[in-house]
Chain A
Amino acid sequence: MPSYLLKRLLTMGITLIGVSLLVFMMLHLIPGDPVRYILGDFATPESIAELESRLGLDKPLPMQYLHYMAGVIQGDLGTSYVTGYAVMEEIANRFPITAQLAVYSILFGSVFGILIGIIAAMKQNTILDQLVMVISLIGISAPSFWIALFLILLFAYHLGFFPISGYKGFYSLILPSITLGLGTAGNIARMTRSSMLEVIKQDYIRTAQAKGANLYRLIFQHSLQNAMIPVTTLIGLQFGALMAGAVVTETVFALPGMGSLIVSAIATRDIPTVQGLILFMAFLFIVVNLLVDLIYTKLDPRIRYE
């Protein structure tokens, strides 16, 4: 196990280098000069050159990259062009909100998705099953900004249960979490359903039945853990979709998280902030999926890492 973890950490490092390289090149490929953005339309060539050399943008690209990465290794993600704060600090400020949002929506999506997935599987080919399938399809296919607006209109504007926008503690995260979690719930419900249907056909379920186990035992003691193996994979992968979804959701609900930060950073060509955020999100994604792989060993004793 320790050697496995070491291997995983090593590949994690390589992946992050790949991500950083990709993001770095992409940001230099897209049109729009951050220096011109900062100095405005009437900047003199001298001031442009001066700022470029101050930001290190006059050096060749490989040099810029190496310089950037040297900082990253020491935990320095650079300084925002726009605010002048350290990117690390910006992330630290924004992260708690996005983290809460991610945790709540994963929780909502998993619990709700697994629950209705089980119901659909148990009531296969009935109206209830079809209803669950339709709801999950809507959850998956409806754009999150639309769901967000719908929820705001109904629960915040008309019923007044929740704040319309802005961050005022847990209460203000409920609608965003539902918005973000619905797609996850839909995917998880579908996966749970098909996985459960697969498991209840297995011989060991018949054995449990022959032992006199009731339906509740059959589902929760004998099927669920086996059925959760592919679902866990999906939850890990959904985390990536969640990070992407957070960008839209945080913007619609005006939450000061990493998602809304990245939107404004892209708009202002704040390269260090964008780079830092993407790198950090990739890091989170890899860590979450490493955790998922470790959870497998708890779910299925046949899986062992050497």
Chain B
Amino acid sequence: MAVTEEKELLRVEQLCINFKTEDGGHIQAVKQLNLTIKEGETLALVGESGCGKSVTSLSLMRLIPKNAGFTEGKIIFEGKDLNRVSEREMRSIRGNSMSMIFQEPMTSLNPVHKIGKQIGEVIYLHSSLSKAQIREKSIEMLKKVGIPRAEKIMDEYPHQLSGGMRQRVMIAMAMACTPKLLIADEPTTALDVTIQAQILELMNELKKDFQTAILLITHDLGVVAEMADRVMVMYYGQIVEQADVRTLLKSPKHPYTIGLLNSVPDMDDESDKPLVPIMGNVPNLGVIQAGCPFYARCPQAFQKCHLENPPLFKLGEQLVRCWLYESQEVIA
């Protein structure tokens, strides 16, 4: 899946996401993040729990509650800075040109509304179709996401469907207004492995049909290999490595990325060598430290890592935030 010269759809510049703490201060969950997504491209955002990938996706939709925190920086989507548009304009973007599916299909649908009503709502909000047309379009979407007996499902409630079916409904809902960008936050994490593969395949198909770009949030490198064009690895609220998917999986540079890849079992490998986990945990966001946040867990750490957080270094098309590549050109 080579990325050709396509138009830029989303550019995030210097995004900082801050959360208020109980003592009146705030902690920074995402630090000066830059990213771009081209039209029709799939960008994977990878990292462990707590590295800031989910809040990044929520902040793009401006769904972080105002009383919980605030964001800084620019989120330029189709030429508009989403951090500056009115709430009304933001609502006209949500579900329309930018939509989102979530990790938990079991709880992401409203239990008291019929499936038809829930899909119909997003079409109703962003179009001027009649009731009958909305219903027709909803059924069409359900069929597109591979739901058998779509007409019947329209009048069923979420609890009558399996997890995989519900995620299909969520996808149908997210794709109903043919969004330019689909944000998928761990879309397959809660599903069975067999269903996971089906859902990923479905997303790839729809992406081709609708020319939709996907921002895929995941911790699963298998999913990344399956779906992504480009990958950004996040750690402690910042990008530590960025590359196209082939390069990243073939020759990871950052010790954290290497660690992540080593902790994935290789099914083709016949030898019984044990998996190598990354020792320790992601440091607490509240703790301010001078050096590289991965320092304490890094097998290759040296003196400098302890003292100063590295900038991003450029190695060809690959970006790495690690002092091991200090001789390279600095990006940010």
Query: Do the two shown chains form a genuine complex with each other?
Result: yes
A-side residues, CB < 8 A to B, are: 202-204, 206-214, 221-222, 225-226, 299-302
**0/1 string, B90-107, CB within 8 A of A gives 1:** 011111100110101001
Is B63 interfacial (CB 8 A cutoff)? yes
Specify which chain B residues have a CB less than 8 angstroms from the CB of A206 in the assembled complex.
63, 102, 108
Q: Are B94 and A212 in contact (CB under 8 A)?
A: yes
Q: Is B111 a contact of A211 with CB atoms below 8 Å?
A: no
Instruction: Name the residue on B nearest A125 (C-beta).
Output: B67
User: Is the CB–CB distance between B92 and A202 below 8 Å?
Assistant: no
Contact B112 A225 (CB under 8 A): yes
B159 in the interface, Cβ–Cβ < 8 Å?
A: yes
Question: Which residues of chain B come closer than 8 Å to A214, judged between CB atoms?
Answer: 91
The residue that A212 contacts in the complex, of B92, B109, B170, with Cβ under 8 A, is B92
Give the top 5 A-B pairs by smallest Cβ distance, nearest first.
Answer: A211-B95, A212-B95, A212-B94, A203-B107, A204-B110
Query: Dominant SS at the B interface?
Result: mixed
Q: Is A210 a contact partner of B112 (Cβ separation < 8 A)?
A: no
Looking across the interface, which residue of chain B has its beta carbon closest to that of A206? B63
Contact B93 A301 (CB under 8 A): no
| CB atoms of B112 and A299 under 8 A apart | yes
Cross-chain contact B109 with A204 (CB below 8 angstroms): yes
Contact: A207 with B111, CB < 8 Å? Answer: no
B332 within 8 A of A: no
Q: How many A-B residue pairs have CB under 8 A?
A: 67
- Whole-angstrom distance between the alpha carbons of A214 and B157 in the complex? 23
Q: Which B residues are in CB contact (< 8 Å) with A222?
A: 110, 113
A128 → B minimal CB distance (Å): 15
Query: Contacts A222-B110, A302-B157 given: A209-B63 contact, CB under 8 Å?
Result: yes
Partner of A300, one of B102, B112, B121: B112
* Inter-subunit contact B104/A203 (CB<8 Å): yes
> Which A residues lie within 8 Å of B93 (CB)?
212
Chain A nearest CB from B87 CB (Å) reads 8
B157 touches A207 (CB 8 A): no
Chain A nearest Cβ from B2, distance in angstroms: 31
- Bound complex: CA A212 to CA B111 (Å): 19
How many angstroms from the CA of A261 to the CA of B149 in the assembled complex? 61
Chain B nearest CB, measured from A46 CB (Å): 70
Instruction: Closest B residue to A203 by CB, please name it.
Output: B107
How far, in whole Å, are A185 and B105 apart by their CA atoms in the complex?
A: 36
If A203-B102, A225-B112, A301-B112 touch, whether A210 touches B107 (CB-CB below 8 Å) is no
- For chain B, the count of residues having a C-beta within 8 Å of the partner chain is 27
Q: Specify which of A202, A300, A301 lies most central, judged by the most chain B CB atoms within 10 Å of its CB.
A: A301
**By the criterion CB–CB under 8 Å, are A301 and B159 in contact?**
yes
Contact of B100 among A210, A225, A226, A300 (CB under 8 A): A210
Task: Known contacts A207-B170, A211-B121; decide if A226 and B110 are in contact (CB<8 Å).
Answer: yes
Using A204-B109, A226-B111 as known contacts, say yes or no to A212 and B96 having CB atoms under 8 A apart: yes
Residues in B whose Cβ lies below 8 Å from that of A226 = 110-112
Interface residue? B292 (CB, 8 A): no
Which residues of A sit under 8 angstroms from B94, Cβ to Cβ?
209-212
Is A212's CB under 8 angstroms from B91's CB?
A: yes
Measured CB to CB, the nearest residue on chain A to B110 is A204
Bound-complex Cα distance A207 to B109 (A): 7
* Inter-subunit contact B96/A204 (CB<8 Å): no
CB distance from A305 to the nearest CB of B (A): 16
Give chain A nearest CB distance to B174 CB in angstroms: 8
Closest to A205 in B: B110
Q: Can you list 29 pairs linking A and B with CB atoms under 8 Å apart?
A: A202-B107, A203-B104, A203-B107, A204-B107, A204-B108, A204-B110, A204-B111, A206-B63, A206-B102, A207-B102, A207-B108, A207-B170, A207-B173, A210-B61, A210-B63, A210-B95, A211-B125, A211-B173, A212-B93, A212-B94, A212-B125, A212-B126, A213-B125, A214-B91, A221-B121, A225-B112, A226-B110, A299-B112, A301-B112
Cβ contact within 8 Å between A300 and B92: no
Verify B102–A302 contact, CB threshold 8 A. no
Q: How far is the CA of A180 from the CA of B1 in the complex (A)?
A: 71
Which chain B residues border A203 with CB–CB below 8 Å? 102, 104, 107-108
Q: Determine the distance from Cα of A225 to Cα of B114 in the docked complex, in whole angstroms.
A: 13
> Quick one: given A301-B157, A301-B159, A302-B159, are A210 and B99 in contact (CB under 8 Å)?
yes
A227 to B92, CA, bound (A): 27
* A211 contact from B122, B157, B159, Cβ within 8 A: B122
Q: Which of B96, B110, B126 contacts A208 (CB 8 A)?
A: B110
- Residues from chain B with Cβ under 8 Å of A210 in the complex: 61, 63, 94-95, 99-100, 102
Shortest Cβ gap from B290 to chain A (Å)? 36
